[in-house]
Amino acid sequence: MEITRSSLRLMVLILCGLLLIFTLVQYPYAPSDKAELLDCSTNSPWCTFKNRFQLSTSKILKNPAQHQTRNHATDVPRHPLDPLTVTELNQVRNIILSHPFFTTASSYSLHSVVLEEPSKPLVLRWTQNEPVLPRKASVVAIVDGKSHVFTVDLSINQVTRHQIGSQTGYPMMTVEDMTSATWAPLMDTTFNRTIIERGVDLKDLACLPISLGWYGKREENRRLINVQCYTMKDTVNFYMRPIEGLTVLVDMETKRVVEISDKGRNIPIPNAANTDYRFSKFNSRQQLNLLNPISIEQPNGPSFTVEDGHLVKWANWEFHLKPDPRAGVIVSRARVRDPDTGRMRSVMYKGMTSELFVPYMDPTEAWYFKTYMDAGEYGFGLQAMPLDPLNDCPRNAYYMDGVFAAADGRPYVQSNMVCIFERYAGDIGWRHSESPITGMPIREVRPKVTLVARMAASVANYDYIVDWEFQTDGLIRIKVGLSGILMVKGTPYENVNQISNEEDLYGTLLSENVIGIIHDHYITFYLDMDIDDSDNSFVKVHLEKHETAPGESPRMTYLKATKHVAKTEKDAQIKLKLYDPYEFHVVNPTKKTRVGNPVGYKVVSSGTAASLLDLDDPPQKRGAFTNNQIWVTPYNESEVWAGGLFVYQSRGDDTLQVWSDRDRSIEKKDIVLWYTLGFHHIPCQEDFPIMPTVSSSFDLKPVNFFERNPILRVPPNVENDLPVCKAAASN
């Protein structure tokens, strides 16, 4: 009976496969339309989910009242850094697809269509009332299997530049690449038989596209992906139900299975029990209501404005903010008002997540290659899903949409991708009470209120929450939160007492048959600091133990600060050391405070982790941008992606390490600061079936930038300013 049903399904799937091949030939590289043509989609909820993709990104799942649905059809760029509009994306598509190179091609896909930002001097000279600067697009495409980069000039309707891409890496995957990779195994009868033999109904199958890095010949000269699968039976949290040891190597161009590795037949699929995390699935007895309602309220509305869709003005700050398919969000031209002169002063020309590196620590066949680069491989912005109002961001948040291009160049809207809100967390901006020692009747306290720009990228299982937080005292905090779901491994073990050597698990037994594998997360930020002007220097302020001379002092030792200006890039390859502390300043050496200190900002580390892999281990070569926590490079338009522009299957020949090793001069230059935030993650049972957020951050902090405390003259809270609130919105 069971066999018969399986055979039937097999036949349907073979038919499916044939249909798919037909479709692929007839409708090359327009996968967003393709799913509807697949008969299998009517059988598999997994396929059906895919069809819902357009829906889920353009429509809203709940709390509809909260969402500002915007029509982007008539958007017009107002600022030279504004992202391409729907109209412009359509124009780029028309220009590029009518270019002879494309009209003669047998296949193509567009992997990135974004604004080519005008040159820095032009942007710096531009003022808000001027017409926007000439608009150009940068297009990364794969045409007949080869990577290309085009510049499209929208003012003259022409492709003005065309470069052949690198041989050693590929562009960021398109969403269509990822989704189609997950269907590809279904065309393979061996695969289907394996799935059925594992006791998984094909309709319950859920597969993930897993970038495979680069380890040698096999990963060269063709665009490949590994696909691994799970069962969705009895849970939406299929991540907890791996079909362990089964890895399908798929050619992303042909969509064909290249190789199947099937080593986990003896490993049971973990149970679905206790894996679902949706609130709607718990009955009222199971629900855990711990708290009364609590909310950040601003009865007179927020204090920020977003002009022309992207220019954020709040308190003493002004910056340009835009969604980006690869970086997630880009903060540009961050400027702060000097309380003494009233003038806006430049702090950072551009800041963004440049790359991520997430190596898993299991060298076995189905795991060794898991060393994700979530920005350059998957698109950190492409994966940034609509935020959930009242939960992802508080009331009064402003939501910004992303307007991106699909693989066929057609624009689509990633709605509510970024939120901006003011945060009051009960914290203190500054304070002083006089103590009982003096007994003076003084108590001056100022509450701390900040502005947060947030996105949350769901790169398959994991959720990354990225906050850019601006403080009125001039500090910028960049915070990364990790939540979502672990990537777990199936195992025959049900209890630690069955395991002779726990180390060999490569992780922690989280539940019966489930191991959470040890892994690291590195998030590398590009920070083009422009302290009052572009030409800056990087100064290492060394705190060193100094010994007093005999008879000089009853003290034997004290710490002394010495300043070292980094001359070249190698002077600025920094590994942090608790017992050899430094401050790291970016200063404008030509601009001094009244008493003669160079104006500057410092980068302040908080909790972080360092990569310990061998420098010549292939993943670490590709992730070489994590070899140091801090780097400084001279500004170079082409050096923005720390793992290289073409990071997919790259060999590490275009990383920050390679650029920095040129050892160029960085003194009194337009310089870019790079900071890597790291996490080691040894999973624990609390991470099952979904992880409480873990976060860390680093700060960019003014250091002798202002003449004095810039928030000296802000008022305290008084009762009369605060709102009067009634119990509930429903009343």
Residues annotated as catalytic (active site), given as ranges: 374, 462
Binding a copy of itself (rule: CB under 8 A), the pick from 63, 68, 189, 190 is 63
User: How would you classify the pairing of strands 519-529 and 535-547?
Assistant: unpaired
Do 429 and 448 meet the contact criterion of CB atoms below 8 Å apart?
A: yes
Name residues contacting a copy of itself, limited to 283-342 (CB under 8 A): 286-303, 315-316, 339
Binding mask 363-402 for a copy of itself (x = CB under 8 A): xxx--xx--------x---xx-xx-x-xxxxxx-------
How many angstroms from the chain centroid is the CA of residue 342? Answer: 35
CB-nearer residue toward a copy of itself: 121 or 692? 692
Binding a copy of itself (rule: CB under 8 A), the pick from 102, 349, 659, 688 is 688
Binding mask 428-457 for a copy of itself (x = CB under 8 A): xxxxxxxxxxxxxxxxxxxxxx--x---x-
CB-nearer residue toward a copy of itself: 124 or 541? 541
First to last CA, the chain: 57
Name residues contacting a copy of itself, limited to 256-285 (CB under 8 A): 274, 277-279, 282
Q: Tell me, what amino acid is at 364? A: T
Write the DSSP symbol of residue 518. Answer: P
Q: Does 709 bind a copy of itself (CB under 8 A)?
A: yes
CB of 314 to a copy of itself, least distance (A): 8
CA 279-282-287 angle, 5° bins: 85
CB of 208 to a copy of itself, least distance (A): 7
CB-nearer residue toward a copy of itself: 194 or 316? 316
| Residues counted in the chain | 731
CB-nearer residue toward a copy of itself: 260 or 541? 541
Helix (H) or strand (E) holding 656: helix 656-660
CB of 714 to a copy of itself, least distance (A): 5
Place of tokens 């109209």: 87
Q: Residue 102 in 3-state DSSP?
A: helix
Name residues contacting a copy of itself, limited to 3-32 (CB under 8 A): none
Write the DSSP symbol of residue 447. Answer: E
Q: Does 65 bind a copy of itself (CB under 8 A)?
A: yes
Q: Residue 315 in 3-state DSSP?
A: coil
Q: Residue 703 in 3-state DSSP?
A: strand
CB of 222 to a copy of itself, least distance (A): 17
Residue 276, CB half-sphere, CA atoms under 13 Å: how many?
14
Q: Does 577 bind a copy of itself (CB under 8 A)?
A: yes
Q: How far apart are CA 405 and CA 112, in angstroms?
A: 7
Q: In what order do the strands lie in the sheet with 205-210?
A: 205-210, 224-231, 246-251, 256-262
CB-nearer residue toward a copy of itself: 30 or 609? 609
Using the rule CB under 8 A, give the single segment among 114-122, 188-196, 564-572, 695-703 that binds a copy of itself. Answer: 695-703
From residue 349, alpha-carbon distances to 166, 527, 724 in Å are 28, 8, 41
Binding a copy of itself (rule: CB under 8 A), the pick from 496, 564, 662, 665 is 496
Q: Whose CA is closest to 253, among 619, 642, 644, 649?
A: 649
Q: Does 68 bind a copy of itself (CB under 8 A)?
A: no
CB of 166 to a copy of itself, least distance (A): 22
Name residues contacting a copy of itself, limited to 87-116 (CB under 8 A): none
Name residues contacting a copy of itself, limited to 474-493 (CB under 8 A): 474-475, 481, 483-485
Q: Whose CA is closest to 621, among 596, 641, 643?
A: 643
Q: How far apart are CA 57 and CA 53, in angstroms?
A: 6
CA 538-542-548 angle, 5° bins: 150
Q: What is the DSSP string of 574-588?
A: B---TTS-EEEEEEE
CB-nearer residue toward a copy of itself: 189 or 364? 364
Phi, psi angles (nearest 5°) of residue 141: -135, 155
From residue 621, alpha-carbon distances to 357, 371, 652 in Å are 11, 11, 5
CB-nearer residue toward a copy of itself: 91 or 261? 261
Binding a copy of itself (rule: CB under 8 A), the pick from 426, 500, 637, 638 is 426
Q: Residue 77 in 3-state DSSP?
A: coil
CB of 260 to a copy of itself, least distance (A): 18
Helix (H) or strand (E) holding 9: helix 2-26
Binding mask 525-564 for a copy of itself (x = CB under 8 A): ----------------x-xxx-xx---xxxxxxxxxxxx-
Name residues contacting a copy of itself, limited to 222-251 (CB under 8 A): 236
Name residues contacting a copy of itself, limited to 339-358 (CB under 8 A): 339
CB of 144 to a copy of itself, least distance (A): 26
Binding a copy of itself (rule: CB under 8 A), the pick from 7, 502, 564, 636 is 502
CB-nearer residue toward a copy of itself: 7 or 63? 63
CB-nearer residue toward a copy of itself: 3 or 578? 578
Q: Tell me, what amino acid is at 133? A: L
Radius of gyration of the chain measured on its C-alpha atoms: 27
Q: Does 472 bind a copy of itself (CB under 8 A)?
A: yes
Residues 6+ apart with CB under 8 A from 171: 111, 112, 140, 141, 142, 147, 165, 645, 646, 648
Binding a copy of itself (rule: CB under 8 A), the pick from 613, 632, 642, 671 is 613
Q: Does 722 bind a copy of itself (CB under 8 A)?
A: yes
Q: How far apart are CA 581 and CA 607, in angstroms?
A: 14
Beta strand extents in 56-155 (DSSP E only): 108-115, 136-143, 146-153
Place of tokens 């160029």: 664
Q: How far apart are CA 318 and CA 296, in angstroms?
A: 23
Binding a copy of itself (rule: CB under 8 A), the pick from 592, 636, 661, 662 is 592
CB-nearer residue toward a copy of itself: 61 or 156? 61
Total residues contacting a copy of itself (rule CB under 8 A)?
A: 219
CB-nearer residue toward a copy of itself: 222 or 448? 448
Name residues contacting a copy of itself, limited to 30-59 (CB under 8 A): 46, 49-53, 55-57
Q: Does 362 bind a copy of itself (CB under 8 A)?
A: yes
Q: Does 708 bind a copy of itself (CB under 8 A)?
A: yes
CB of 143 to a copy of itself, least distance (A): 23
CB of 83 to a copy of itself, least distance (A): 18
Q: Does 578 bind a copy of itself (CB under 8 A)?
A: yes
